[in-house]
Amino acid sequence: MTYELTGLDGRVAVVTGAGRMRSIGRPIAVELARAGCDVVITGTGRPPSAYPADEQAAGWRDIDSVAAEIEALGRRALPLVSDVADERAVEELVATTVRELGRLDIVVNNAGAARGPDRFDVIDLDPAEWRKVIDVNLNGTFLLSRAAARHWRALDTPGCIINISSVGGKIAGPGTAAYSASKAGIHALGAAMAAELGPNGIRVNTVCPGIVDTSRLDDIDRGENWERLRKIIPLRRHGVGEDIAHMCVYLCSDQGSWITGQAINVDGGQLTIR
């Protein structure tokens, strides 16, 4: 007997920040499609000149390439350039999803600010970089969650929100103040929204990835430092985007329907040894 997750066939999901080839957003979008969802995928519209070398070599086309993967699975895909930190853009994203695909059932808040310029001790941190990280990571999650929840409450229909955070929101290491604060804020936002929206059948959960091998971490050499990071993970391997995607799909399914308000670590056991 084959055990399958149910409740996703014909649903419509929005996954933000899903255009990178080696990422978390792309596999979330693809695995939701594999489970039966039609998927709206957003990106920032970055120019090809800004793509990592491996994406350029592969002829990668950002959200259009992810849309092609989704369509190859027999599902509908809608690639849209959108700014999650812009209130009007977010409201238009929800409206366009409903207009083009007929409904909205799932929101995955995955978009995140670029890593690097914010990685300073607080006393040296440029306030502009602080605001940028908070605006994209935390405010963007708030704005899209609010827009989706308003849509569902107006129709008196259930919905599911998944926020992609990080174990960094719980560890809060040195040099990560903006990032860690934004991710900890997402945990609190998700819990508060779950309490408010639960009576409407709207579930809100947060997934906290550990060290996942994506292009976001390409500033860490894949030699000694990478091996050092691997050794702090009890399962002794770095995560891949699919590890996070599988948790997201489960939380959106019928089988995850009694889970809300949680901030779930998917980290190979990293936080168990702290």
Catalytic positions = 179
**Interatomic CA distance for residues 176 and 168, integer angstroms:** 8
Contacts 24+ apart (CB under 8 A), 146-154: 147/90, 147/91, 147/93, 147/94, 148/14, 148/94, 148/104, 148/107, 149/193, 149/197, 149/200, 149/202, 151/94, 151/98, 151/104, 152/104, 152/200, 152/202, 153/197, 153/200, 153/202
Nearest Cα residue to 149 out of 84, 102, 80, 91: 91
